[in-house]
Amino acid sequence: MIHIIAGGKKHMGEYYWLIEDYRKKCRKPFDFDFTFLEAEKLDVWLAEWKFPKDAFVIIADERGREITSPQLSQLFQEEFNYSREVYIVIGGPFGVTQDARDHANFIWSFGKLVFPHMLARLIVSEQIYRASEIARGSHYHHE
């Protein structure tokens, strides 16, 4: 399972139905859920590093590494092969601390652009769905 921890408000506005559509389409082990934490609470969560010991933690951050959708699918599959749960952190309005980035297993950049949190949640949701479709060999993703 993939757990998305998102900083900011729970409200997903007009993106809600799109995100829900991707969430419903995903099957184990690519199924995902959201936990919403106010920015200050997320900072505390990350400072205390409240993840399970064997979790694979990805932080979405523009200073991270850009990867392709097939590479993301492969990354997820490798972690699932080790029975590790994957956590994806979308920071609050000011991102996450350097300490949190240092603790993460992977820093994922969507590119040089910075996106609003609601759109970042949609991007993550779609990329998880795309990764699942790549893993099962469907024609959703093509190169």
Q: How many residues does the chain have?
A: 143
- Long-range contacts at 30-34 (CB < 8 A, ≥ 24 apart): 30/2, 30/76, 30/128, 30/129, 30/131, 30/132, 30/135, 31/1, 31/2, 32/1, 32/2, 32/3, 32/4, 32/125, 32/128, 33/1, 33/2, 33/3, 33/4, 34/4, 34/5, 34/6, 34/121
Which pLDDT tens digit goes with each residue over 16-46?
899 999 999 999 999 999 999 998 999 999 9
Which pLDDT tens digit goes with each residue over 119-134?
999 999 999 999 999 9
User: Is the pLDDT assigned to residue 84 strictly greater than 80?
Assistant: yes
All domains of the chain in start order, with CATH: 15-33+42-89+122-137 (3.40.1280.10)
